[in-house]
Amino acid sequence: MDFRKVNFEQLSSEYSDPESLQCKKLQIVDSYIQGGALLDVGMGTDEHSRSPSGWRGLIEGAGFKVTSVETVKFPILRSEYLRKNLCVLGKGCIIVTSK
């Protein structure tokens, strides 16, 4: 098991900064939650990161139906279409599922 010391003050600061990926991801995830359960809000920033298709395979293998795969932020261009349809080139990944 991989244990790391977590700087909670830094995390709180990142999640409160409206320009950070973490804050933007939470805003997008909040728009999907309608009284349902949240599976994961991980950023995947270390050596255990996977591609969106890699995560999709793991999640589907666990018995979930993937309804949407999108990115948090698309670099350079601000495009909702690219954010939702070309996630492999975006920053952060959001996978919406149902059981």
Question: The whole model's pTM is what?
Answer: 0.59
CA-based nearest residue to 92, from 10, 17, 25, 16: 25
- pLDDT given at position 1: 46
Which residues of the chain are under the pLDDT cut of 70?
A: 1-6, 33-49
Where in the chain are the domains?
Answer: 8-98
Model confidence over 73-96: pLDDT tens digits? 877 778 888 888 887 777 878 888
DSSP the chain: -------HHHHHHHHH-TTSHHHHHHHHHHHH-SS----------STT---HHHHHHHHHHTTPEEEEEEEEE-SSS--HHHHHH-GGGSEEEEEEEE-
